[in-house]
Structures are given as structure tokens and as C-alpha cells.
Amino acid sequence: MRNPPVSSSGRSVPMRGSGTRPNILLIVPHDTGDYFGCYGRGTVRTPNIDALADEGVRFANSFCTAPQCSPSRASIFTGSYPQTHGVLGLAQIPFRWKMKEGITALPELLSRAGYETVLLAGQHATFDTSQLGFRFIMPPDDPVKNAVTFIGDRKDDSKPFFAHLMLDTTHRKFRFEPDTTLGVSVPRFLPDCPASREDFALFQGAIYQLDKEIGLILQALRDSGLEEDTLVVFVTDHGIPFPRAKCTLYDPGIKTAFILRWPAGEISGGRIIEHLVSHVDIAPTLLELLGLEVPDKMQGRSFANILSGGETQPPRREIFAQKTFHNFYDPMRCVRTERYKLIVRFSHSGFIETPADVLEDPLVRQYLAVEDDRYIRGENEMIELYDLSADPAEQRNLANDERYGRIKEGLLSKLLDWMEEVDDPILRGPIPSRQYEEIVSSFKDRQRAYRL
């Protein structure tokens, strides 16, 4: 066996049993947060995902960089924050956000390193799929079938692969039977009423279906003999699709599940890592595990040495997240430590955005009517501060409490330092939408034509 590679930090990194780099299977479900049994959610049935955690390493405090699909997924692929990679809103029509020029995504880096890079079904990170650098793209009609077929076909192939699978099973509109087998547990930030219980039972049914799909994919790895030599990366894109969750910077909007398993690389054994980690940390960690150079533009912090047991200090003391556009302009930024959360709004309509796909559900409209002001009108303050140890549901804003003045100022300083570090465009003024330049250009062309 050849010597293991050495990372850019000088640390040796593990290699799979055959002495070559592992396959990597990146699975990113939509809109599920950390709603799995292994994260203590007692009324959801997720035996396959729980088994993955028992056989791998589970991160108990994982957070996205944005509480919506495209910006957060782009951060997974690039190891950079939305202000840097440029995806500040949704990638699909009519929004059409795409990555900035000069950003090299993980699939491109792995292609250059000799990996066969395959997009198994959709990506939703950028309007221009070619920016990601996948060499093979499969049709998105049947993601699970694509994954199972692809894995089976790789049985005798010695070239390592990087395959990405996007699953929309838990995205609204929920399409599966409700699951009340273990009961229904409505989160405490939602009103507990018949409509919310029915809605959450449907969500639990979608989670159960997602778990069955994960089971099929993991079984394909076993059947093909690739399980030992495949690094499975299971991470959700953002929080759950409910009011005061998705599209907000409260924990139900930004907390995610994150599980790694690589038996041959000794990423195994059911370890639980409590340190704060961010989506931006995933790409640099994978590159370091593979002994590949981490580009300077990646802003995440590798935790590869923690996985190998050589480091106990946390890679970060805080995580940062942002939201700029979803259905409309709603710019906000946050910093979260183990105990405190600070949110700053840069333009506030007085409303908390509930995404259109959530708000369109008749059940959601029923239980929003129960406490309209709490879920729709929200905080009138531009700054919110929460003590997460005493108030994990983030219900009591302490920003104007003099007893927390020093904490607020310290977090504001951290947040500003981060915004300057990532060259946040909001520090220079309001951020135009992707359509702005097109609309202005079209308007000027019409005016010129009219004058002629």
C-alpha cells in the first residue's frame, strides 16, 4: 500500500482499505432539519437513518448557512458563504440565482483529482448546473432508482466516484400517508391543535418514506460490495417546512442533520460530535480527508482531525447564517454560539416570511389563524437576542434587556467582523434582485426604441 496522503495542514489523513481514495455519496434531502430518531425525535420512524448514525459519526450541532434550499446547497458544494458564492436566493425560474464567476465547486475539484463525478438527480444550488463541474448528469425522473442502478453498475469499477443525490421526498406538498404509529409531537413553537397535528403527521409520513428510500440506497452499497470503501455524507439542506422555521434564522430554520460513515476510513462506531459545525465546513473537510488541497476561497474550517481522533478542540466557537431573498427581499444575518443567538434585520416589513409552499397548505392556514400575530407579524425589533439555554424555542427577545448588554455588543462585533470578512454586499447598501439588471436593461431598450 502506498503511503497515505498528507493534508495541506501537514496532517496525515486516512485512506480506504484498498489504499485508494474512497467513493463519496452525498445525499441531501430537502426541508427535513434534524427530524430523525437519532436526533431524539421520538415520533418519527427512521430506522435506516438511525442505523447510519449508529454505524458512522453523527454531528449533534450542525447548521446551514441559509434557511432555504439554493444558498445552503451552494455552500455545501463550495465551502463558502452565500455572500461569497453569490447565490442569495432561489435558483429556479423566475429567481435564477447562480454562483459568481471564479468559484470552483467540490465536484469540479474532485473531477480534476480523478473522480468520476455524477449528478444523480437535480441539484437546486445554482441556475447554471455546469458551474458545479459534474461530468455526468442523470435525468431527475426517479432519483432513488438512479442511485441504486448507478451503485450496482459500479461494482467492478476501480475508479472512485463522487455522486450527489437530491431527494425532495419531504418537500411540500406532502405526498405520502400520514404516520402516527409512534404518535405525533408538534414542535413547541407551533400551536398544538388538530390542524397542526394532522399537518405534522403528514410530515412524519414523508420522513418515513425518505427513510425507506435511504434504506434502499444503503442496501445497494452493501449488495455491490462498496459499503466499506464509500464515504456516505448525509446532510439536510436546512430546517423544516413550517411557519417560524424554514426561511427564518431561528434554530428550526437553520439546524440540520449531518451524518458521516466510512467504515474503511474509521469514520464509524456511532460517535456523536457535539461541536458546532456549518455547511461551509463540509467541503474543506472532505478535501482534507482525501489529502487534496483546500482552495483559499473556501471559508469553512476542516474538522478532519476531530474525525481521526487527533483533536478535541472545536473547529469553531460560533456559526453564521444569512437570508437575503426568498419569495421577496428579507435581508437578515445571525451569529449563534452554543448558548446565544443574535439576529439582525436590515429591512423589516413587520412580517415573518412563511414560504409560499408552506402558506399554500390549507392545514397551515388553519393553525396560523389560531395565533396570527405570533407567526405572521413577528418581532418589530431590528435586533433579536436569545438565551438558548433558558429559551430554546427563541420566544423571549432579550435585545433590550440591559442585563444582556455586553453579550449583545460582543455578538454584534462578531457578526460585523464576519460580514466584513465575507465582503457582505449589504454593508454597501440594499442588494438588487437577479431580475433587476434585466428589467432595467429591458426598460432602457424600450425607451430607446420608442424615441427612435
Q: What is the reported pTM?
A: 0.93
pLDDT for residue 451 = 65
Which residues make Cβ contacts (< 8 Å) with residue 275, sequence separation at least 6?
A: 59, 61, 303, 306, 314, 315, 316
Q: In which region does residue 244 sit, left (phi positive, over 0), alpha (psi from -120 to 50) or beta (all else)?
A: left
Statement: residue 80 has pLDDT above 60: yes
The CATH homologous superfamily for domain 23-316 is: Alkaline Phosphatase, subunit A (3.40.720.10)
Based on its alpha-carbon atoms, the radius of gyration of the chain, rounded to whole angstroms, reads 22
| Chain centre to alpha carbon of residue 430 | 25
Q: What is the third-level CATH fold of 319-435?
A: Arylsulfatase, C-terminal domain (3.30.1120)
Reply yes or no on whether the pLDDT at 4 is more than 60. Answer: no
Give the model confidence (pLDDT) of 392-443 as tens digits.
Answer: 999 999 999 999 999 999 999 999 999 999 999 999 999 999 888 778 878 8
Task: Indicate the pLDDT class of residue 156, thresholds 50, 70 and 90.
Answer: confident
Task: Give 387-408 as a DSSP string.
Answer: ETTT-TT--S--TT-GGGHHHH
The residues spanned by each domain of the chain are: 23-316, 319-435
Residue 13 has pLDDT above 60, yes or no: no
Q: Which three cell numbers stand for residue 231?
A: 464515504
Residue 327 has φ and ψ, to the nearest 5°, of: -75, -25
Q: SS3 string of 100-160?
A: CCCCCCHHHHHHHCCCEEEEEECCCCCCCHHHHCCCEECCCCCHHHHHHHHHHHCCCCCCC
Mean pLDDT of the chain: 91
pLDDT at position 3 over 60: no
Cell of 350: 413587520
Q: How confident is the model at residue 310 (pLDDT cuts 50, 70, 90)?
A: low
pLDDT of 345-388, one tens digit each? 999 777 788 899 999 999 999 998 876 556 666 556 899 999 99
Q: Are 231 and 268 in contact (CB under 8 A)?
A: no
Q: Which distant-in-sequence residues (6+ apart) come within 8 Å of 298 by Cβ?
A: 78, 79, 80, 280, 283, 284, 287
pLDDT class of 161 with cuts at 50, 70, 90:
very high
How do residues 236-282 score in pLDDT, each as one tens digit? 999 999 999 999 999 999 999 999 999 999 999 999 999 999 999 99
Number of helices (H) and strands (E) in the chain: give both, helices first. Answer: 14, 13
pLDDT at 348: 76
The pLDDT, as a whole number, for residue 377 is 60
What the block records as the C-alpha cell of 342 is 443574535
